[in-house]
Structure formats: C-alpha cells, structure tokens
Structure 1
Amino acid sequence: MGRRYRLYPTRTQEQVLTGWAHTARALWNTALAQRIYVYEQRGRSVRAIEQCKSLTEARADKELRWLAELPAQSGQQILRRLDTAFDNFFNPEHPAGFPAFKRRGVRPSVSLPGQAVQVNKLNRHWAEVRLPKLGWVRFRLSRPLGGTVRNATVSRDGAGWHIAFGVAIGKKPTPPNTQPGCGVDFGVIASAYVSTECQPRIKPPSLSVPEHSRLKHLEQRKARQVTYAKKHNRGKYSNRLRATITQIAKLKSREASRRTEFTHQLTTDLAKNHGFVGIEDLRVTNMTAKANSTAGQPNRGVGAKSGLNRSILDNCPGERRRQLEYKCPLYGSELVVVPAFHTSQTCAACGQVDPASRKGCGRTFACVHCGYEDDADHNASVEIEARARQELVLARARRTGGSVINSTHRRREASSSAPRRKRSRETQPATHG
C-alpha cells in the first residue's frame, strides 16, 4: 500500500532536494540516450547492471561532483526503473509506450529503497524520516504507516514537498462478503450513478468560484508575461513570471487533491458496501480524442469537444477503475468489467435496444417498446448490474467446469434468477445523494 505525507524540509534541505531532483532527471536522460545509441550502433541492449558500473566510475570523477552528490541508492533506483520501462514497452499486454526523455518542467522526484531510509515517530501528528546525505526531515503524520517501509519517493508539486512510502502491510484478500451487488455508471453531469440508489453522486466543484476566477486571472497574466519575455527578454523567464507560475501550480495542486479525495471516498464506499461492483470497460483515450475538423470548417466542434474532454478527465474514470481493482479484494467484493456497448440505449425493464429511447441524448430514458421511463444514467447502471451478474454466472460456470458454449442460454438463466429487470427507483433505499 502507498502512504503519502506532507514533507517540511528546511530551506537548506529544500535546496539539496531540488538539486537531487535535477540530477535524477539528468541521469535518466543520459542513461536513456546511452541505451538508444548502443542499440542503434551495435544492435544490443544495455541493462541496469552494466550501467551501474559506469555510474560508479562517473561518481568518482572529480569533474562530475554534481553526480556524486546524489545518493548512490537513488541512482541505482533510476536505472532499475529504466529497465522496468523497457520491459513494459516490449510487453505486448502492457499499454506503455517507448521510454521518453524527461523535460525540465516534469515534477521533480527522488526515489530511495527502504533500507536507505529510517522513520521515527515524534508524536501523534508528527514524524521524521532520515534520508541519506541529508539527515532528518519532518513530515506530517496524517495516518499511521501500518507496515514495513519498502521504498520512499520524495517529490514536489504546487503545494510543496511530499514523501510517499511503499509499505508492506501484510494484509491478505478478505473473504467474499454478503453485501448485495451494484452497477455503477460513470458520467459527466452525474459523476456516478449507483443502481441501488435513488440519487446520483455528484462530484463537488474542485475549485470554488473565487478560486476559479483567480486561476483564470493568473493564466491571463502568465500569457502576457510569456509574450513579453519572448519579445523583450529573449524568452528568459522573469521572477514575476516564475511567481505567477508558482501561484497557478498551487491552485492546480489544490484542485487535484480535492478530485483525488472524492475519488477515494467513492471507490472505498463502493468496494466496502457491495458484494460486487459492475462498471463499464471504457476506453478513455478514445473518448477524449480531439475533434476531427474539415478543410472547409477547420474549427468546427473543436471548442465543444475540448470542454467535454476536460469534463471527462475531471471525473477520472480510469483512476476510479484502478482504485477499485485493488480495493475490492481488500473489502471482500469483486470488480466486474462489462462491455459498454449499448448500455445507455438498453431498456432496464424489457431489455430492448433502441436509440429512439434516448431522444436527443437527454437525461430521460423513455422506452419506445414498453413505455418504461427512468433517469438515463440510472437505467444504464441497472443494465450494467445485470451484465455484471451475467458475467459472474459465466465465470462461476468456468471455474466449476460447466459448459459455457451456449452463452445466450446462460444469460437468460442469469436474468431469470437475478432481479435484473423492472427495478423501480421508488423502492430503492435512499443512501448517498
């Protein structure tokens, strides 16, 4: 499990950590360039074991004192992570692309193994961590570690410095619970609509109205200052421009923290209070693709699609799925991913698929076959739950060695044995609004 805390280094320690972060970025780029060059010139691959020997020789060079200031364990961690990046790239089942060079604007971070750090608890709210070549640094103990530290990563964002620990808690998957299952429809207007609830769960705005207005003002100021720097200062950033960028980063970090908090609360509640959680197999990359413009109308729909993409990414459906994948086994539930094909056009009462039931893609679903009316997102969540039940029946049949050739017959049996259709919203318990 991961544990992330706010780190409070002194001004001297902050300068050292900033230098380490730049050194780590330079080492990553140098090691990546060396691997590319060796493969293009000699046709062979270089691994971390070979590069660690070169790193030891480089640290002993007097002209590379800046490289020796970085802890040796951190440099070795960078080379091992580069091995993992290449392994993921060559793995056909992994979606990772080719390892990329890190630019200067990337979030600074330094990784260390668990053997190189030591944690000491001071009181209920504060603790300190001992980093090699830096000494003790205080951090806010917002929650207990709860296990053995395996690794640590120091990073900085707009809110300040943080330290993240990889902790081995020794917790095994919980036996299946007896809670009822549910289907969840992730959307934009309704962040999440659970099939067993009467009201959708709405994500509160990540920024208040004054904060949003201030962010817009700061972005406009940044645009003017960047233009001035390009015209009169040869592109060099002034101190005022850097201060503006820092203020924008603080607001962006606050927005991301609030978004992450809502996502964790939602996924924890779903995994803890349900026997299984059914979600759609969404392709977020395809959903957030840019609008296709034509030669005659190059800007047609580009602005509207950009706004829709921002709303989709603000609800982070991919992160919700990732959290459910590891939280469901911890709470004795099961995550079931079902195809998203026609979930919004299928009637939850009669099972008929008809695009005419969603006139204009509105918020109301009115079946043209049986006359069933419901909220469109709730109707989709009930259909997702039904498909999840069917997938569980088929999976159970595979585990027991049953025949799954006639999948249509199996699906009909699952539909008749489970309360799949005609679920009334008035009879559902009112939980989270």
Structure 2
Amino acid sequence: MVGVKANTAAKFRLYPTADQAERLVSWSHTCRAVWNIALAQRVWAYGSAQRKTLQAGEQCSELTLARKEHVWLRDLPAQCAQQVLRQLDAAYENFWNPEHPARSPQYKRKSHQQGVTFPGQAVQIRKVSRRMAHVRLPKLGWVRFRLSRPIEGTVRNATIKRDGLGWHVAFGVHRPEPVDRHVNAGPAAGVDVGIACSVFVSTENEGRQRPDTLTAGEKQRLRGLERRMARQLTFAKKHNGGKYSKRLRRTIAQIAVLKARQARRRADWNHKLTDDLAKSHGIVAVEDLKVSNMLRSAKGTVAQPGTNVKQKAGLNRSIADQGWFEIRRQLGYKTRRYGGELVAVAPHGTSQTCARCGTRDSENRQGCGRLFACVHCGHTEHADRNAAINILDRALSTAGRAGCAASGRGTAQSTRSPHGQGSLAGSRMREPSSNVTAA
C-alpha cells in the first residue's frame, strides 16, 4: 500500500476552539512563508549559471536546519512544511506537463486562502455521535467536525482551510477500484455549455439554467460593500500609508462571506448537474474548450490597445461564473465512477452547423438569439440544442457507438492531469496506520 494516492475527497465543516483557530491561522501564514521562500530559492537556482533544478528532497534537509534557528518555523509541524514542498513539486510537474492547464507556480500573498495540509499517518479520526466526529492533528489535539457523510477508504491526507463562512477539513481518501466495473447502459448525450442557457442536453427539450447564486438583496449589499471598500482603500493609501484599518478589514470579511456563499451555491449546482449526467448517460460528449484561452483579456498593449475591452471583461466574468472547466473536470471522474465515458470533441462550428443536413453556414445564426434557422434546408431548432446534437454526433463518429456502449469506458480525453482523478493529490509518505475509529 506504500505510494497509494488519494483518488477521492470528502469535505466537512470544522469547529476548532478559539485557541486552535488562532494557531491554525499562524500555521497557515507559516506555510505561506515556506512556499514563498522555497519558490524564490528554486527560481534563483534555475536562473543561476548552473541552471540547477531543486526538488523537495534537497529543500527538506535545509528546512530541518532552518527549524533549529527559527522558533516560528519550529512551531509548525514538520510534516506540514514537508507537504508544502511536495505541493510545490506537484505544481512544477503540472506546469511542465503540456496536457495540464496549470501556469507557473506563483508567490502567495497574505490575502491568499489560508490552509494547512497534514499527511495521512499523522491524522486520526474517531466518531463520537451520528453526526459529529473528532480529528486528531499534531500539536493541536482533537478538533471537532461535522460528519455529514461516512468516510469510506483510507485517509491519505487532511487539509484544513478557512473561507468567509468558517473552517473546513478536506480528507484525501483512497478507495480501491472495483474488480468488475459497472457498465452504464444509459443513452449517449451531448452537452452544450453557455451563458444565456447554462447547459443544454441533446436528449432534453428544455435547457438547464442555473439560478442566480446571490439574491437581489445580496447583490445590492455586495455592491454597497465593494464601494465602501474602494473608499476605505483610497483613504488608507492617502492618509494611512496603505495600512488597513479595522473597519476596512471588517468590510473585506463581510465581502468574503458573500463570495463564499456564492461559491458554495455554484459548486452545489455543478455537482448536482454532473452527478445527474454521469448517472443517466453511458456516453457524455462535451466540447474541448480551452477555457483559459477564452478568459484572456482584450486590453492589448500600449502600442496596440485592444477594442471592446469592457465587453470582453464582462464576457470573461460570465464564463468564469458558469464554471465550464469545472463541469468538464467533474464529468471526467464521475463518468468513470459510474461506468460511463467522457468524450471531448472539437468545438469548431458546432453552433453554425445544421444538425439535420450537416451544412455549416454563419447565416444559420442571425445575431445572438436562441433560434437556429438553417438557410439551406429550413430546419429550425433551439440553437443550444442544435449544438448539443452536433456535439453528440461528432463524439459518436469519433468513438463509435457500438464500441463505447459495449465497454462503458475507454480512453476519454483527460480533463486535468494524466496522473489525477479529479481529486486532491495523495501523500507520498508511508501508509497511515488507522482509519476512522469509534469513540
């Protein structure tokens, strides 16, 4: 079992005491400092004349020496600092992987999301009631969390994070793959993602529109808080040397609450959508969209300024809010889990091609309306449903209806990394000695 990585994750609400929360905040800042120092060291070593590439193994020995000199670094559990270096290794590995969309590792600011990662063998879990459990963390003791679902498998790591709504713990869990994988015999479906219509499935007559992630009152409050923050930032720069006041920090915290609530509602809708699609369909076809390229700014340079910059910025916000890449990432591992297959096809011309006669013509789409009208055969259809049917036809012609239906799985294109399963990376340390135990 040595070297087995996590292939799924389980996230729960954490309830640390005031002292535990204060120490977790301190540890998260220490982890951020370790990341920034290690990254700076690697950048310097690679930019030197030797062009040396540092790895976590070399930096761990230097970390041991640094812990003897600095008390603030020694207070952080050694395993957590080592996990930071391993995460930096994984970040560089993803950056150099041409099939992975990750950018080069970046320095973390103080406002970055706070988090601490513990290896699996340093964590113990015990269930104390039907809905509550404790997790034992090094130098912190037992911390209470809400057991909203059972933890099935071997715990490989635990990550503690805080957002605007409080603390959470995410366990990276390894579940053994079944010997006889279930084959999903559901019908094949093409999925078209958009903005005016969030998702349209080729087997349905109506599109699926995600509800607003914020109510009208919450949107109004968010606008007011953002304006207040802008005024307070201006005042801090002019009269306070850029130092944040308590009122400004309180405003930022109130904005973080609304943003975290919005992100939680968006994630809930995406998970419910992808669960339903993966369970109901044996083949799910999507467009192979390069979302990171689509989100690039149009402002250009000083010599060659861009056009329609504000309109493009609004479009970028809408694309990011819909979570196209996240939907595809979740479909990637959920279709495998339920015995299906995800097929990504070329997106070129799916919205301009007639699903009945197969003719591609830009005149088929007049304006930005939701109506598709073929100028050759006269076929009319909802534009997004027509695109979803085209996506499905391309997937079936690429993979073959009989082969996919018989196997239920295949060589679907990776949606993230060829080594990952759409979940948290597992610890590279030795196998933990225990799982969940009763109190």
TM-score with structure 2 length normalisation?
0.86
Distance in 2, Cα, partners of 1:275 & 1:221: 50
Letter in 2 for 1:49: G
- What's the offset of the Cα at 1:325? 0.6
What is the letter of the counterpart of residue 169 of structure 1? R
- TM-superposed CA distance for 1:53, in Å, is 1.4
Matched AA of 1:157? D
The corresponding residue for 1:142 is 148
CA distance in 2, matches of 1:75, 1:25: 10
Structure 2: runs of 5+ lacking an equivalent? 1-7, 408-439
Indicate the SS of the match to 2:144: strand
Within 5 A, what are the aligned runs for 1:104-143? 104-143=110-149
Q: How does 1:317-356 map to 2 (within 5 A)?
A: 317-356=324-363
**Counterpart check, 1:73 vs 2:79:** yes
Residue equivalent to 2:372: 365
Q: Which has the higher mean CA deviation after the structures are superposed, 90-99 or 227-236?
A: 90-99
Question: 2:51 is matched with which residue?
Answer: 43
- In the other structure, the counterpart of 1:87 is 93
* Separation (CA, whole Å) in 2 of partners of 1:77 and 1:299: 42
Q: Which amino acid counterpart does residue 88 of structure 1 have in structure 2?
A: N
1:242 aligns with 2:249: yes
Q: Would you say 1:7 and 2:1 are equivalent positions?
A: no
Partner letter of residue 121 of structure 2?
A: Q
Q: Tell whether 2:67 aligns with 1:59.
A: yes
Alignment of 1:137-216 (within 5 A): 137-172=143-178, 174-216=181-223
AA matched with 2:170? A
Instruction: Name the structure with the higher helix share.
Output: 1
Distance 2:23 2:53 in 1: 34
Are 1:20 and 2:27 an aligned pair? yes
- SS at structure 2 position matched to 1:360: coil
Distance 1:137 1:86, change over 3 A: same
**8 Å Cα contact 1:38/1:44 also seen in 2:** yes
Q: Could you list the per-position Cα deviations for residues 166-219 of structure 1 after superposition, in whole angstroms to 9, with x for gaps in the alignment?
A: 011224383322111110110001100001101100000000000000000000
Partner of residue 281 from structure 2, selected from 256, 271, 274: 274
Measured against aligned partners, the alpha-carbon deviations of 1:118-172 in whole angstroms (never above 9, x if no partner) come to 1111111111100000001111111111121110101111111111000112243
1:298 & 1:41 partners in 2: Cα distance? Answer: 37
Give me the identity figure in percent: 54
SS at match of 1:214: helix
- Corresponding residue of 1:407: none
Residue 114 of structure 1 and its aligned partner are, at CA, apart by 0.5
CA distance in 1, matches of 2:273, 2:162: 26
Match of 1:231 in 2: 238
Higher relative contact order (CA 8 A, sep 6+): 2
CA deviation after TM superposition for structure 1 residue 43, in Å: 3.0
Tell me the distance in 1 between the aligned counterparts of 2:274 and 2:172: 20
- 1:180, 1:274 within 8 Å by CA — same for their partners in 2? yes
1 CA distance for matches of 2:373 and 2:97?
A: 46
CA gap of 1:233–1:184, structure 2 versus 1, over 3 A, is same
Alignment counterpart, residue 257 of structure 1, candidates 264, 282, 289? 264
Deviation sequence 1:278-304 (CA, Å, 0-9, x none):
111111122222235698996852222
1:33 aligns with 2:40: yes
**1-structure distance, mates of 2:35, 2:304:** 43
Give structure 1 stretches of 5+ with no counterpart: 401-433
| Structure 1 residue 107, shift from structure 2 partner | 0.6
Q: Specify whether residues 138 and 178 from structure 1 end up closer, same or farther in structure 2 by C-alpha distance, changes over 3 A only.
A: same
2:291 partner amino acid: V
Q: Distance in 2 between matches of 1:140 and 1:379?
A: 45
CA distance in 1, matches of 2:402, 2:290: 23
3-state DSSP class of the match of 1:5?
Answer: strand
Q: 1:48 to 1:351 in 2, by over 3 A?
A: same
Kept in 2, the 8 Å contact 1:277–1:334? The answer is: yes
Segment drifting more, 112-121 vs 29-38: 29-38
Question: SS where residue 60 of structure 1 aligns?
Answer: helix
Task: Give 1:275 deviation, angstroms.
Answer: 1.1
User: CA 1:294 to 1:54, structure 2 compared with 1: closer, same or farther past 3 Å?
Assistant: closer
- After superposition, the Cα gap between the structure-2 partners of 1:294 and 1:132, relative to the gap in structure 1 and judged at 3 Å, is closer
Q: Would the alpha carbon gap of residues 34 and 300 (structure 1) be closer, same or farther in structure 2, given more than 3 Å must change?
A: closer
Amino acid at match of 1:46: L
Offset of 1:41 from its aligned partner?
5.1
1:43–1:357 Cα change, 3 Å: closer
TM-score (norm 1): 0.87
Compared CA separation, residues 382 and 394, structure 1 to 2 (3 A): closer
The code of the aligned residue for 1:57 comes to: L
- Name the CA shift for 1:19/1:292 in 2 (closer, same or farther; >3 Å): closer
SS at match of 2:400: helix
